[in-house]
């Protein structure tokens, strides 16, 4: 049962980032986007990240704001919108 819970959490995290991309008319597989809580703080927490962020920058759920590469201007930081995710 434990593996099922972990698998579901992984899917939901990617789902949040995908919803944010689609709302911005971006391809979730090509966009550089993270859903982040408390982005105004250096310790802001990544709640979800697109595959490109994981592949190229090694940013994943649980990464912190200070870990994001500041030189990459393609990165979009989206605040979490839980009501939106529940509607979708």
Domains of the chain by start residue, with CATH: 2-87 (3.40.1170.60)
CA distances from 68 to 11, 17, 18, 23 (A): 22, 16, 19, 22
Residues 7-59: tens digit of each pLDDT: 555 566 688 999 999 999 999 999 999 999 999 998 999 999 999 999 999 99
Residues 60-87: tens digit of each pLDDT: 999 999 999 999 999 999 999 988 888 8
């Amino acid at each position: 049962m434990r593996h099922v819970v972990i698998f579901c959490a992984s899917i939901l995290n990617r789902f949040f980032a995908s919803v944010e991309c689609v709302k911005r008319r971006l391809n979730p597989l090509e966009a550089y986007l993270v859903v982040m809580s408390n982005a105004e703080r250096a310790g802001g927490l990544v709640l979800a990240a697109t595959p490109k962020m994981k592949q190229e920058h090694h940013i994943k759920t649980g990464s912190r704001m200070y870990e994001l590469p500041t030189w990459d201007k393609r990165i979009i930081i989206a605040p979490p919108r839980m009501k939106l995710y529940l509607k979708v």
